[in-house]
Amino acid sequence: MEWLIFGFLSFWAVLSVMGVLFFRNPVHAILSFLSLILAVAGMFMHLGAELLAGLQLVIYAVAIVVFYVLVITTIPWEKVKRFEGFYKREFFAGFPILIFTFLLISYAILKGEFASLNVATGDNVRDVGKSLFTTYLFPFEVASVILLTAMIGAILLGRKEE
């Protein structure tokens, strides 16, 4: 049963990745990215990370994808037409190298032994929240500064020149 769920989710994810890489139209690429996000949220659910799955849906599928589509609508469509698709020469140069890297890393994963802490876990959301607000409190506060800086930067970049 576990392998059935894994097979379904991974097949879905691989199809969506092919869509992101090879669709000519940017809107179609972003829609297949949305499909990939749903597949990855299912994988998080299967791995027992429920909080991460929910945040993946809220942040990626709602905020980021809508932002991409809004930006695409602001750019005139006939100008985008010139730069659809992908570079063929770079594809044939890069693809074998990346296949080789994938085989190397997957060999290391399949042959390697992983350590095991065996911490007894119960409620995933409670555990993550407890760890986030006690041990990782300072990085959590710094993340708010990162978001504020990104907001100011986006406003500065997006304003009209006088």
Q: How far is the CB of 66 from another protein (least distance, A)?
A: 11
Which structure tokens are listed for 67? 């932002």
Which structure tokens are listed for 25? 């139209």
Q: In angstroms, how far is the first alpha carbon of the chain from the final one?
A: 62
Nearer to another protein, 115 or 162 (CB): 115
Q: How far is the CB of 162 from another protein (least distance, A)?
A: 13
Nearer to another protein, 82 or 162 (CB): 82
Distance CA 60, CA 66 (A): 9
Nearer to another protein, 158 or 162 (CB): 158
Nearer to another protein, 119 or 162 (CB): 119
Which structure tokens are listed for 41? 């949220």
Q: How far is the CB of 138 from another protein (least distance, A)?
A: 12
Distance CA 66, CA 62 (A): 6
Residue 85 gets the label, from left (phi > 0), alpha (psi -120 to 50) or beta, of left
Distance CA 161, CA 137 (A): 39
Which residues have CB under 8 Å from 35's CB, separation 6+?
A: 12, 15, 16, 19
Q: How far is the CB of 50 from another protein (least distance, A)?
A: 10
Q: How far is the CB of 133 from another protein (least distance, A)?
A: 10
